[in-house]
Amino acid sequence: MKNSYTLIFLFFIMVVARGQNVQIEGVLQGVKDSTEVWFNKSVDAGYFNYLNNSDYTIAQNNFFRKSFKTKGVGAFTIASNPYMPSVMIIAEEGDKIKLIVKKENDKFALEFEGNNALGLEELNRSSLLNFKKMTPYLKSIFESASTSDDFFLKMENLRTEFMKPFEVLLKNKNITLPFYEIANKQVDLYLLFNINFLVYNFKGDPNKLKGLHLTENDLTQILIKTDHKYDGFDEKYDNCDGLIRTIAIQRKCLNISGKILEGSKKDIGLWSGSEDMYSYAPIRYQELLIANNIKHFGFDKSGCSYEKFIETFPNSPYLVKIKELNNMSKTVVPMLPYTLAFYPYNATKLKLESVFEFKGLTELIQHKFTGKPVFVDLWASYCAPCKKEFGYSKPLHSFLKANNIEILYVSVDNKSQISKWEKDILAYDLRGGHYFASSTIVASLQKLLNVNGEISIPRYLLFNLKGELVLTNAKRPSEGQNLYDEILSALKNN
């Protein structure tokens, strides 16, 4: 009998150790049946081994449900689609969370029910946990600060102000302490990312630098002090959202390679060129970085074959996903990366135009859109901000149609994502021209836009009726009339 109790006890311990289910339910307005709802989360029960589009479920009858194992508390996101924005979730073992998405005046409104519901609502509306909303606040601090110490004093005051809603929720027992602690760490990482972004933005533009009281040395000191406060390599952030955590790791590698921060290489033979800086990251972070590079850009562009990944990380939790990607890459037809297609308003599927590899975007515009202005949307299927902007497609299309301007969506996806590319076009109802340029067009785009290094997306361009580039970085569709005025002004003057 004693042995029986012992076995039952051991079984209980094993079940608890494996983690408990987190259940996510969603109610979406007007969602098409069989719409895929993707989760950007870990590939296992922990939170560390993050992968973009790690798992998915299917929506039916305006509803979806997903359940998966977790250990402890941590953050992940539900990826955006035409019926919902990107949603940040902090979940604890055993949580049951219900998400209700409504769309009002072309904007999404989120409501939550279940565990930490009020905290989740605050999490998804907080200006401090949104890169675009946070930027103006931090920018104003950079512009008013007299020294690096003054900057951090003002930044901490801002941080305190934005954390107050979470502190009130904690005091009133509307959220748990573990939820609050993860939210607090998420804020660290968003500040780390945004401070780095703005420092490099100021350093890269002499005119912007002249507008500051801070010197270039002050900006360097801000990077160093930011690293001391929010170390991107610190394991305390392991349970934070994987995307912002990955960016924090990349930024620290950049600062070490630029001799701003101290660090030593752990070279495992995976990186070359500008990505050699990732050799400064701890091995476990290099595994995370290369797995996500492969997921986003494919084996060729990542410089890591399927065989090389297995050899380097024989016990990797990513192996199942990496094997899937390898199998998908072998099914791609070589000519598909250069597909030019159109999705007319009266059609239900893409209409193939050609599979010709144009030397560059200008050549494509001049050959296929003769005598018409063209608004170009640079995007990729893995780009959440790109998809968020698709929510403003209808008014944009109406404006372009009224002014006889064509639209061309240019995908810079890896070639293995051709099927995902087509699915996204249909799902987001992206009427107009489409070119699956893949990464083959990046070099010509860098030359065309006079950009050294990576071209950030989404990015919007405008060509006049002569096929000449007149806007190299137009405003976003979400800026509405400001974008429309910018387009009309550029065409009038060119």
On whether both 275 and 355 belong to a single domain, the answer is: no
Q: What is the amino acid identity at position 41?
A: K
Report the CATH number at residue 74: 2.60.40
Give the CA dihedral 464, 470, 475, 477, nearest 10 degrees. 20
pLDDT, position 440: 64
Chain center to CA of 490: 30
Identify any residues that bridge with 84 across adjacent strands, giving them in sequence order.
81
On whether both 88 and 195 belong to a single domain, the answer is: no
For 66-86, b/e burial (b = at least 16 CB within 10 A) is bebebbebbbbbbbbbbbbbb
* 360 pLDDT more than 80: yes
**Which of 230-244, 284-298, 346-360 holds the top average pLDDT?**
230-244
Residue spans of beta strands (DSSP E) within 71-208: 73-78, 87-92, 96-104, 107-114
On whether both 164 and 304 belong to a single domain, the answer is: yes
Domain final residue pick, 299, 329, 359 = 329
Residues 123-178 pLDDT 10s: 999 888 888 889 999 999 999 999 999 999 999 999 999 899 999 999 999 999 99
Q: Quick one: 128 exposed, middle or buried, by C-beta within 10 A (0-12, 13-18, 19+)?
A: buried
Cβ 351 vs Cβ 342: under 8 Å: yes
On whether both 357 and 258 belong to a single domain, the answer is: no
On whether both 116 and 134 belong to a single domain, the answer is: no
On whether both 59 and 93 belong to a single domain, the answer is: yes
Given CA atoms 174, 177, 183, 187 in this order, what sign does their dihedral have? positive
On whether both 185 and 308 belong to a single domain, the answer is: yes
On whether both 82 and 50 belong to a single domain, the answer is: yes
Given CA atoms 88, 91, 94, 99 in this order, what sign does their dihedral have? negative
On whether both 84 and 147 belong to a single domain, the answer is: no
Residue 144 inside a domain? The answer is yes
Overall domain count for the chain: 3
On whether both 219 and 272 belong to a single domain, the answer is: yes
Cβ 59 vs Cβ 76: under 8 Å: no
pLDDT, position 19: 54
Residue 63 inside a domain? The answer is yes
Domain final residue pick, 300, 329, 358 = 329
Domain residues for 134? Answer: 130-329
Q: Alpha helix locations (H) across 172-282?
A: 177-203, 206-210, 216-229, 242-257
- pLDDT confidence bin for 9, thresholds 50/70/90: very low
Residue 12 inside a domain? The answer is no
Residues 281-328 pLDDT 10s: 999 999 999 999 998 878 877 889 999 999 999 999 999 999 988 887
Residue 2 inside a domain? The answer is no
What is the average pLDDT value for the chain, to the nearest integer? 89
* 331 pLDDT more than 70: no
On whether both 65 and 87 belong to a single domain, the answer is: yes
Alpha carbons within 13 angstroms on the beta-carbon side of residue 378 total 22
pLDDT, position 11: 43
What is the Cα Rg of the chain in Å? 24
Residue 6 inside a domain? The answer is no
Write the DSSP assignment of 279-336 as a string of letters: GGS-HHHHHHHHHHHHHHHHHHHHT--HHHHHHH-TT-TTHHHHHHHHHHHTT--TTG
Residue 459 inside a domain? The answer is yes
On whether both 146 and 289 belong to a single domain, the answer is: yes
Domain final residue pick, 125, 148, 163 = 125
Residue 13 inside a domain? The answer is no
pLDDT, position 450: 83
Q: What is the pTM of this model?
A: 0.81
Residue 257 inside a domain? The answer is yes
Cβ 51 vs Cβ 291: under 8 Å: yes
